[in-house]
Amino acid sequence: MTSSPAVRVFFRVAAGSRVGFGHLVRCRSLARALGIAPRGSVRGNAATGRAATAMGWTLAATASTRALADEQPDVLVVDDPSATHTAVWVRAARLLGVPVATIHDLGLGRVASDLMIDGSVLDGPLRTDPAELRGPAHMILDPGILATRQRRMPRPALQVLIALGGGSHVYPLAARIARAIAARVPDIRIRAAAGFSSPVRPPLLARGQWVTAPDGLAHELAHSTIAVVAGGVTLYEACALGVPAVALAVTAAQHRTVRGIAKYGAAIDAGRPPTTAATIARVADAAAALVHDARRQRQLSLRGRRLVDGRGAFRVAARVRELLRIRAGATTHAA
């Protein structure tokens, strides 16, 4: 048996307290599916760079497009919600003859490239453009999610995971939600995923503890009765694992995702804005009802697993490898 040749992929990723860290996590997941170490450039500040390094990233010596000439990758992957910033990197790669894959959410910030990937739940019919991969079948999740899904481990009763992203907003918001849930379910056990931007002293959690999971939340999700999640990658992970989820959108764009997944009956939409007392009460009420409703849990679990099968990273990885032919063809023609 012959193995696939290693593909040299360079990632350009946006991350930080405002943009979030989901783009870094997603590209790391794609790198793992490709069987390579994540290497690239981050659009963010020094603290973001340190967080990326802690997540296992190797960063290029320069954050500018000059890195492409230095790295000479086979493929460039750009995951940045800004169309303006993405377009700069796409143009630079094309000048060097490097094929480009761009990753998008909800069709926002879309830039034409050799391969456009959008694993979001989108309204309307899927387009048949061969340069596009669209829909939850192509949502890039960590390979550990698929491995955990296949094990189908039993879950404990009365345990909730709160996972609201990687920014600093996580701490006060999760603490408020934990207090509200604990007031409604006194015997609940709560675990909350810490963000990548850690305060000096995280707030205390009612009936719970903070957990650090720099390698991903597959284990924490699989050992939770239900989850309270934001509208990002972790919501899709919960669906893939069949973990019943109450979804709280922390941004307006995330609410489109939450509404779309709730429309399929794969999660409960707790609405927004996320920090109001009314929204916190809706989240806690929904979580308290769900943790005691085995029938509703089974419904959400089944529909979530049907919607997201956890194989998206491998489908995308296969198409990224196909871009090698573009690079090989350009090199042959130049010779």
User: pLDDT by residue (tens digit) across 265-295?
Assistant: 999 999 999 999 999 999 999 999 999 999 9
Give residue 30's pLDDT.
98
Do 106 and 199 have their domain in common?
no
Structure tokens at 105: 């959410």
Give residue 68's pLDDT.
97
Give residue 325's pLDDT.
77
What pTM, to 2 d.p., does this model score?
0.92
Do 67 and 175 have their domain in common?
no
Q: What is the CATH number of the domain that holds 212?
A: 3.40.50.2000
Is 50 inside a domain boundary? Answer: yes
Residue 9: what residue type? V
* 79 CB-side CA count, 13 A: 27
Do 79 and 152 have their domain in common?
no
2 φ/ψ angles, rounded to the nearest 5 degrees: -100, 140
For residues 57 and 44, the answer to whether their CB atoms sit within 8 Å is no
Give residue 43's pLDDT.
97
Residue 250: what residue type? V
Count of domains forming the chain: 2
Q: What residues have CB less than 8 Å from 52, skipping those under 6 apart?
A: 13, 15, 24, 42, 44, 59
How far apart CA 116 and CA 335 sit, in angstroms, is 29
Dihedral-angle region of residue 292 (phi above 0 means left; psi in -120 to 50 means alpha; beta otherwise): alpha
For residues 102 and 86, the answer to whether their CB atoms sit within 8 Å is yes
Do 217 and 229 have their domain in common?
yes
Name the residue range of residue 246's domain. Answer: 145-307
Is 334 inside a domain boundary? Answer: no
User: pLDDT by residue (tens digit) across 113-131?
Assistant: 999 999 999 766 656 688 9
Is 4 inside a domain boundary? Answer: no
Question: DSSP string covering 70-84, please?
Answer: HH--SEEEEE-S-HH
Do 125 and 159 have their domain in common?
no
Token look-up 């492409």 returns 68
The pLDDT confidence band at residue 82, using thresholds 50, 70 and 90, is very high
Q: How far is CA 105 from CA 83, 111, 152, 328, in A?
A: 12, 12, 29, 29
**Overall average pLDDT of the 56-74 stretch:** 96
